[in-house]
Structures are given as C-alpha cells and as structure tokens.
Structure 1
Amino acid sequence: MADIPIVYTLTVCPACDALRAAWKRDGIEYQEIRVDQSQDDPDTALDYAATVPIIIYPDGRVEVGFEGQTG
C-alpha cells in the first residue's frame, strides 16, 4: 500500500477539479491516476466504484466523491 493517497480521476470532471485544487491549496500529496488516459486503470477503478473521484487512503479506506460531488 502506498504511503500517500491514490486518487482515480477523469480529465474532465468538476469533482476531480475541485479535489485537485483543494488538495494543491492544502499541500496534500497524492498519486493521481486519470482513468481516461490508460487502458488498465479503468478496470482497477471499477473495483471500487463506478464514478470518480475515488480516493484510496494508505490505511485502506476508500472514499468515493469529494465534498459530496462525484463526476
């Protein structure tokens, strides 16, 4: 398991944009995986949810959406 959150996003996604902006502002490090730019990552993301953003925390917790928004 990574020591920073892994975030599955889409390139065009208002909720993903909000997460990126907020976490950048707050200095939160994360690994972003844009599922629309990879052949393998959409299937991995679908193991967790059918919408983005999907946040996988280092302790294994999974959060879908950001501040009540999904994309």
Structure 2
Amino acid sequence: MADIPVVYTLTVCPACDALRASWKRQGIEYQEIRVDQSQDDLDIALDYADTVPIIIHPDGRVEVGFEGMTG
C-alpha cells in the first residue's frame, strides 16, 4: 500500500479542483491519477466508484467525493 493517498480525478471537475487546491494549501502530498487520460486508469477507478474524486488512503480506506462534492 502507498504511503500517501492515491486520488483518481478528472482534468475538468469542480470537486477535483477543490481537492487539489485545498490539499495544496495544506501541504498534503498525494499521487494524482487523471482517469480521463488513460483507459486503464479509468477501468481501475471504476472498480471503486463511478464518480470522482476517489481517494484511496494509505490504510486502504476509500473515500468518494470531497467536502460533499463529486464530479
């Protein structure tokens, strides 16, 4: 399991933009995977949920959305 969260996003997504901006301000490190740039990555993300952002925490916990928003 990764030591930092893995976040599946879309390039154009208000919820994803909010997450990126918030986590940047807070200095939270994460690995971003943009599902609209790779069919393989999209297929993996769809195993978790059908909306973004999808946050996979280092402990394996999965969180869908950011602050009540999804994209």
Identity across the alignment (%): 89
Cα RMSD (Å): 0.4
Specify the alignment match of 1:26 in structure 2.
Answer: 26
Match of 2:59 in 1: 59
**Gap runs ≥5 in structure 1:** none
**Separation in 2 of the partners of 1:48 and 1:26?**
26
Are 2:10 and 1:10 equivalent residues in the alignment?
A: yes
Q: Distance in 2 between matches of 1:30 and 1:59?
A: 14
Structure 1: 4+ residue segments shifted above 6 A: none
Q: 2:30 is matched by which residue type in structure 1?
A: Y
Provide the C-alpha distance between the structure 2 equivalents of 1:27 and 1:3, rounded to a whole number of angstroms: 15
Q: How far did 1:22 drift? A: 0.1
Note the 1:33-48 alignment, pairs <5 A: 33-48=33-48
**C-alpha deviation, 1:39, in angstroms:** 2.1
CA distance in 1, matches of 2:38, 2:30: 18
Please report the TM-score for the alignment, with normalisation by the length of structure 2: 0.99
